[in-house]
Amino acid sequence: MNRFYGFDLGDAESAVSRLEKKDQNVPEVLAVNGEKSFVTAYASLRNGELIIGEKACYNAGAMKRRLRFKSRFLTDPSSLADLKSFAAGVLGELYASGDLIKDDDCCFYIGCPAGWNMSARERYRELFEKTGYPPVRIISESRAALVSACQSKHLQIGVDILSKPVLVVDIGSSTTDFAYIMSGKEVEMQTAGEVMLGGGLMDEMLLEESVDASPDAAKLRKVFAESEPWRSYCEFAARRLKEKYFSDEDYWKENDCEQTVLIRYDEPLRLTLRMDEVMANRLINKRIDKLRGRSFHDVFEKSLMEVRDNITSKQPELLFLTGGVSKLEAVRDWCQAVFPDAVVITGSEPEFSVSRGLAWSGRIDDEGACRIAGF
């Protein structure tokens, strides 16, 4: 095998990394469509062209626009077509840029949530195979994030990761995954392997609250009910604004963090999105119907307690936090409160660690196979 690709297809963001067989460096994150971390979205234009990434989110002329479809893979058969379209778009971009060469002796390691069982993983693998990918293996994103941390020379935590029980907590856009890893191997969890909790809920809430506060609330609701492309356009704008605020909370507490979106449907409408301390607090602590009357914080804390109570062997000595929402400062404190004796660390560059870890896993498995075969 000449090279190993790691494809982190997230519900919100995706990334592809490549590692050469003999390369001593970290896997290279490839720019797809000019972006190293690109939005998991595709759009079909009037002329039949398929575009992916951020361009697909903002193209106002899109006939069809789809975002956040991976989270529906286990429950909604229509997500299969969306995943195939997006996967085909990524493959096309990799060939077009020359980052992937036809008939190269390579393989793709693609991540999935830790909670997916073997049959879901196999169906997922077939999807890529049918789309024309080189040989594909599916492994858990949590394990890949930990492999990345183990390979990182910068991570100095004073705990030997591979000899201690570790709990990986991956808080993404639609799910939070918990993976209990002992001696470097993932142990299947009885419950709470995957919880439907992620940053996407905050985007929906910010959008909803902004619509409620608008003088055009009724008109906006009508547009969103009729036009999925416009609704997802605005939800995406809400997501970016939320990320901007949380990446520097102290600064934005003193400064205006807002954006006005222009919607051209029956008539032009303006929608103002605004993040401030009060809204940030609501996104975390407001009780919402989607969480059956509980808040983001409530559900996260309860899931973590459930995981703790369900661990029958040794409690984790290390909690490794990854995924976009792990950048929220409060998350670390919530984890420390439930696991007071554990070391809690947040992985660096969560947007790339899974794809790098996947590429690394490819090479580790290949080296293992070579050893067994006596090479």
CB neighbour list of residue 274: distance below 8 Å, 6 or more residues apart: 210, 256, 257, 258
Nearest Cα to Cα of residue 261 among 316, 224, 299: 224
Tokens of 105: 């002796």
Quick one: DSSP state of residue 32? B
Contact between 10 and ligand ATP by CB under 6 A: the answer reads yes
Binding string, 249-288, against ligand ATP, x = CB under 6 A?
A: ----------------------------------------
- Please say whether the beta carbons of 200 and 176 come within 8 A: no
Distance in angstroms (rounded) separating the CA atoms of residues 333 and 170: 15
First to last CA, the chain: 13
Residue among 85, 140, 175, 346 that touches ligand ATP (CB under 6 A) = 175
Contact between 327 and ligand ATP by CB under 6 A: the answer reads yes
Q: Which does 115 bind (CB under 5 to 8 A by kind): Mg ion, ligand ATP, none?
A: none
Residue among 172, 229, 357, 362 that touches Mg ion (CB under 5 A) = 172
Q: Which does 137 bind (CB under 5 to 8 A by kind): ligand ATP, Mg ion, none?
A: none
User: 62 or 166: whose CB is closer to Mg ion?
Assistant: 166
Degrees, nearest 5: CA angle 87-90-94: 140
Contact between 10 and Mg ion by CB under 5 A: the answer reads yes
Contact between 13 and ligand ATP by CB under 6 A: the answer reads yes
User: 38 or 224: whose CB is closer to ligand ATP?
Assistant: 38
Contact between 198 and ligand ATP by CB under 6 A: the answer reads yes
Residues 107-136 that bind ligand ATP (CB under 6 A): none
Residue among 323, 347, 357, 362 that touches ligand ATP (CB under 6 A) = 323
Residue among 3, 5, 6, 12 that touches ligand ATP (CB under 6 A) = 12
Distance in angstroms (rounded) separating the CA atoms of residues 298 and 239: 21
Find the shortest distance in angstroms from Cβ 214 to ligand ATP: 22
* Long-range contacts at 53-60 (CB < 8 A, ≥ 24 apart): 57/232, 57/233, 57/236, 58/233, 58/236, 60/233, 60/264
Contact between 350 and ligand ATP by CB under 6 A: the answer reads yes
Instruction: Give the binding range for Mg ion (CB under 5 A) out of 5-13, 145-153, 204-212, 331-339.
Output: 5-13
Q: Could you give the residue ranges of the DSSP H alpha helices within 171-227?
A: 199-213, 217-226
- Please say whether the beta carbons of 87 and 40 come within 8 A: no
Contact between 11 and ligand ATP by CB under 6 A: the answer reads yes
Q: Which does 303 bind (CB under 5 to 8 A by kind): ligand ATP, Mg ion, none?
A: none
Residue among 134, 165, 200, 362 that touches ligand ATP (CB under 6 A) = 200
Coil, helix or strand for 327?
helix
Angle at which helices 277-285 and 199-213 cross, to 10°: 130
Which residue, chain included where needed, has tokens 């599916």? 138
Distance in angstroms (rounded) separating the CA atoms of residues 57 and 42: 7
Q: What is the size of the binding site for ligand ATP (CB under 6 A)?
A: 25
Q: Which does 174 bind (CB under 5 to 8 A by kind): Mg ion, ligand ATP, none?
A: ligand ATP
Residues 33-92 that bind ligand ATP (CB under 6 A): 70-71
Which residues lie near ligand ATP (CB under 6 A)?
Answer: 10-13, 70-71, 172-175, 198-200, 239, 242-243, 246-247, 323-325, 327-328, 350-351
Which residues lie near Mg ion (CB under 5 A)?
Answer: 10, 172
